[in-house]
Structure 1
Amino acid sequence: MKAKPSLEQALCIVAFLGIQDRQIPLHSSLVAERLGISTSYLKKIVQRLAAGKIVKTVSGRVGGIVLTRNPHDITLLDIFDAIEGPQSFVKNTGLVKRLFDFEQRDQFMRMYGLKNLHGEQSVANVLATFGAAEKQYRQQLATLSIGDILPSNGSQPLELDWTTWLTR
């Protein structure tokens, strides 16, 4: 599996907004400039995050991007699914079954004079192995929230207005 470059950018955007004062939208041009990407590319990422109900945009002169939820309620899996989609990594098309035709095992063994045939289940279980690995991957992503990885100010989560720093 290869993740899209926009996944890392989306993680950074959500972490950036996780520190941003929730009452003050962060202007998209400042985020794009900080990430070193175009505003049009940023908008595509933000659209996916908005479809995943992670961020929303606020229009107007003081508009921008804000999180829709507390950073502790946004998991890495939420962001992964928003960018990569919730579809399975590997799709079972039935090709393995068709190729090896396990339903006619007895006829196959008679034709070739085989007394025992071992290993055919190993081939069939390859997709199940991918499925189990994907399940474990997704479970791991679901255990960590953006709030868990954000810097803090002592025992308090860090919350500030990035605009002041980015426009200095």
Structure 2
Amino acid sequence: MQMKTGVEQAVYALLLLSLLPDKAVLPGEAIGSRLGGSPTYMQKLLRRLVDAGLVQSSPGAKGGFRLKREPQAITVYDVYLAVEGRQSLFAPRGTLEDMLERPRKEGCSCRLSGLMDEAEASWRSILGRETIASLADSMCGGEYREEMNGLRLWVNNRSRKDEIA
């Protein structure tokens, strides 16, 4: 399994938005340029985050994006779901039945399928306990402290007062 780069970019886009002053928005172009993504792909990612209820957008020339929920209420798993969707990581294709020359049945109950379900549940649990706020806190207090202070200034300088707020 390899996750799309969009999950990583979406997590860091939310981290940028968590640094915004109250009642401010950050333009999508600023987010895209800071994260180094293509502007069209970044707009697509931001739209998915809006659709998932993680981000809200303000239209117009003075518009932009801000978090819809508190950063401590947004898990990394929420971001994964917004970008990747709810499909299972493992979908049995009937290889066991082919190998054993047995007719295929709906819903494989083989050991491999059970292992994959258990691994996925563990993975969901781990991603579900880490939030945008906890990521930001660990970065602000850790080895990235200086860079995070600079990033906060960068966000403040590019934020706009939200006319709709």
Question: Please, what TM-score do these two structures have when normalized by structure 1?
Answer: 0.75
RMSD, aligned α-carbons? 2.6
- 1:90 is matched with 90
Give 1:100 shift.
Answer: 2.1
Give 1:20 shift.
Answer: 1.1
Instruction: Identify if the C-alpha distance between structure 1 residues 34 and 8 changes in structure 2 by more than 3 Å, giving closer, same or farther.
Output: same
Count of matched residue positions in the alignment of Structure 1 and Structure 2: 143
Q: Is the 8 A contact 1:30 1:163 kept in 2?
A: no
1:67 partner letter: L
- Residue in structure 2 matching 1:126, options 112, 115, 118: 112
For the pair 1:59 / 2:59, whether they are aligned, the reply is yes
Q: Is the 8 A contact 1:20 1:160 kept in 2?
A: no
Per-residue CA deviation, residues 91-112 of structure 1 (Å, 9 max, x unaligned), is: 1344424542579xxxxxxxxx
- 1:149 is matched with 135
Which structure 1 residue ranges, 5 or more long, are not aligned? 104-122
Question: Please, what TM-score do these two structures have when normalized by structure 2?
Answer: 0.76
Q: Is the 8 A contact 1:11 1:79 kept in 2?
A: yes
Give 1:160 shift.
Answer: 7.0
Per-residue CA deviation, residues 15-43 of structure 1 (Å, 9 max, x unaligned), is: 11011124101011111111122321110
For the pair 1:137 / 2:123, whether they are aligned, the reply is yes
- 2:32 is matched with 32
- Over 6 Å off, 4+ runs: 158-161
